[in-house]
């Protein structure tokens, strides 16, 4: 079986229930992932192998279409018996379905609003206003795969996770986001570190290798700066030991949910929270969900001052952390 999801790490983590359902009915599961999603795919229970490919019709910074690259992927996929192609509501599965047909894949399933002709054997249709893990799981079921008995359908990662030399109970604040419109302003993040510390919390500030300047500025002298210091598996372990995670609508929010840690979600409404909010864990959603940017899918905030998130204060975050920790 092949499972494909060709965008970011958070999107891949949300496929966990789908993958486990497919793995329950398949001898072997290969996950086709983007470079940004590969490490997340490697964390998913049920995945036996990950194939990495940069998709020119889904990636936010696409490379030119290369016929030789498409041909190489087609050859790599020969021998796959069946495929489930997962996409977001605004993406088409049909270009990949064509590649899979050219590779000789006998059965292909996907959600598609477009007429698929002979490209799909199972054309699933679904209400878009479902949480993304439930939307994906409904595709697995349409393709004939069910979760095993006792699986609650929540997000999950492979365990054991890397061991950490830290006392549990800290709060993680992750200030960055892959989409700028979804990031809480850095000044507000720095204020939150101060306020959380004043409230008695130890605060660890996380970020990727390209976010070290941001995490250093946010951590200041009272937080612990871990910018660029963890792999994705190490980040999962760090989040697993946290009392709560403060994060925007970005990958670490879903990674926190996958390890069962409560989330204070600084959620910009450029995409609907009903679909993309942290799934299956105690969550407090902060941010004006009726702001003018609602449902625009904007990557850069279209409203001066970024009011949907800049209106959230450090005191709001401290109160929300208290709520999810108590929960």
Q: Residue 278's domain is classified under what CATH number?
A: 3.40.50.2000
pLDDT digits (tens, 9 = 90+) for 185-211: 999 999 999 999 999 999 999 999 999
Closest CA to 33 of 7, 63, 60, 1: 7
Same domain, 110 and 229: no
What's the pLDDT score for residue 7?
A: 94
What's the pLDDT score for residue 302?
A: 87
Same domain, 101 and 182: no
- 116 within 8 A of 145, measured Cβ to Cβ: no
What's the pLDDT score for residue 86?
A: 98
Among 142, 159, 181, the domain boundary falls at 142
Same domain, 61 and 201: no
In the predicted model, residues of the chain with pLDDT beneath 70 are: none
CA 287 to CA 292: how far, in whole Å?
A: 12
The answer as to whether 116 is a domain residue is: yes
The answer as to whether 159 is a domain residue is: no
The answer as to whether 161 is a domain residue is: no
Same domain, 177 and 137: no
What's the pLDDT score for residue 165?
A: 87
The range of the structural domain enclosing residue 101 comes to 2-142
What's the pLDDT score for residue 297?
A: 87
Q: Hey, which residues does 50 pair with through a beta bridge?
A: 31
Q: Where are the beta strands (DSSP E) in the chain?
A: 2-5, 30-33, 49-52, 82-85, 107-111, 122-124, 171-174, 203-207, 224-227, 244-248, 263-266, 283-286
Same domain, 267 and 314: yes
The answer as to whether 76 is a domain residue is: yes
Same domain, 68 and 190: no
The answer as to whether 217 is a domain residue is: yes
Same domain, 69 and 135: yes
The answer as to whether 276 is a domain residue is: yes
Same domain, 29 and 79: yes
The answer as to whether 206 is a domain residue is: yes
Domain tally, the chain: 2
Same domain, 137 and 178: no
Same domain, 131 and 193: no
C-alpha distances in Å from residue 210, one per residue of 117, 177, 228, 237: 43, 11, 7, 21
Q: Torsion-angle region of residue 206: left (phi > 0), alpha (psi -120 to 50) or beta?
A: beta
CA 142 to CA 82: how far, in whole Å?
A: 13
Same domain, 130 and 213: no
Same domain, 244 and 284: yes
The answer as to whether 216 is a domain residue is: yes
């Amino acid at each position: 079986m092949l499972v494909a999801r060709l965008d970011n790490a958070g999107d891949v983590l949300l496929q966990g229930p789908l993958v486990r359902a497919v793995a329950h009915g398949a001898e072997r599961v290969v996950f086709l992932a983007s470079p940004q999603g590969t490490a997340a795919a490697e964390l998913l229970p049920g995945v036996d192998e990950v194939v990495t490919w940069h998709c020119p019709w889904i990636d936010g910074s696409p490379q030119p279409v290369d016929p030789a690259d498409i041909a190489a992927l087609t050859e790599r996929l020969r021998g796959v018996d069946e495929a489930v192609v997962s996409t977001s509501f605004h993406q088409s599965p049909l270009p990949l379905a064509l590649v899979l047909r050219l590779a000789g894949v006998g059965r292909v399933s996907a959600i598609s609003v477009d007429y698929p002709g002979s490209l799909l054997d199972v054309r699933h249709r679904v209400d878009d206003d479902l949480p993304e893990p439930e939307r994906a799981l409904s595709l697995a079921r349409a393709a004939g795969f069910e979760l095993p008995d006792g699986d609650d359908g929540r997000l999950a990662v492979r365990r054991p996770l890397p061991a950490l030399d830290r006392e549990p109970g800290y709060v993680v604040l992750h200030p960055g986001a892959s989409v700028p419109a979804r990031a809480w302003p850095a000044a507000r993040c720095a204020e939150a570190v101060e306020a959380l510390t004043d409230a008695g919390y130890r605060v660890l500030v996380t970020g990727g290798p390209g976010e070290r300047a941001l995490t250093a500025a946010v951590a200041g002298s009272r937080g612990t700066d871990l910018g660029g210091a963890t792999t994705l598996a190490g980040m999962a372990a760090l989040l697993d030991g946290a009392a709560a995670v403060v994060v925007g609508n970005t990958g670490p929010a879903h990674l926190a949910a996958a390890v069962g840690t409560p989330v204070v979600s600084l959620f910009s409404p450029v995409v609907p929270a009903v679909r993309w909010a942290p799934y299956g864990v105690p969550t407090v959603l902060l941010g004006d969900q009726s702001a003018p940017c609602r449902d625009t899918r904007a990557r850069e905030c279209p409203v001066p001052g970024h009011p949907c998130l800049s209106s959230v204060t450090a005191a709001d975050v401290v109160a929300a952390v208290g709520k999810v920790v108590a929960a």
